[in-house]
Amino acid sequence: MTIKIGDRIPDATLTTMTPEGPKPVSTAELFGGKTVALFAVPGAFTPTCSARHLPGYKDNRADLAAKGVDTVACVAVNDAFVMGAWAEASQVSGSDDIVMLADGNGDFTRKLGLSLDATGFGMGERSQRYSMLVKDGVVDQLNVEQGGEFKVSSAEHLLAQL
């Protein structure tokens, strides 16, 4: 079953890359007591994700903060090393930027009900492209893209919902 507006984010552990190496982060820690703009991509370094999705959130980070967003986070079914390299290559690493979250085994993505079968592209199980606004662990907005599209999960669309 797919998560929906009003649902609580499930308990899961994601991983973020730090200068000391991979660090686990719980969803309770990430979402508790904060307003978080979370967006998911099918894969780091993939064309739409790198050219449009991540840059849109980077460019709109200050506007999201001005509207009350405490944290902007990107999640993908990739490992922490890949997410760390993508953050560095995209120049979004740092505390004021975007938190890059690895869902290496796809556990969080499956709990949300937002998995994508990308085996036809040689990518295995991935995440659907989506954005959500989470307030203190509860989904306030949810925007899931239709296959192959990039519209409702954009930073601009989420910003317009605030």
Using an 8 Å Cβ cutoff, are 39 and 55 in contact?
no
Cβ-count burial 12-45 (b if 16+ within 10 Å, e if not) = bebbbbeeeebeebebeebbeeebbbbbbbbbbe
Q: What residue type is 161 in one-letter code? A: Q
**Any catalytic annotation for residue 49?**
yes
Beta 71-76 vs 98-102: how paired, if at all?
Answer: parallel
Distance CA 88, CA 102 (A): 14
Distance CA 83, CA 89 (A): 10
Among 40, 49, 54, 116, which one carries the catalytic annotation? 49
Distance CA 119, CA 160 (A): 34
Annotated catalytic residues are 49
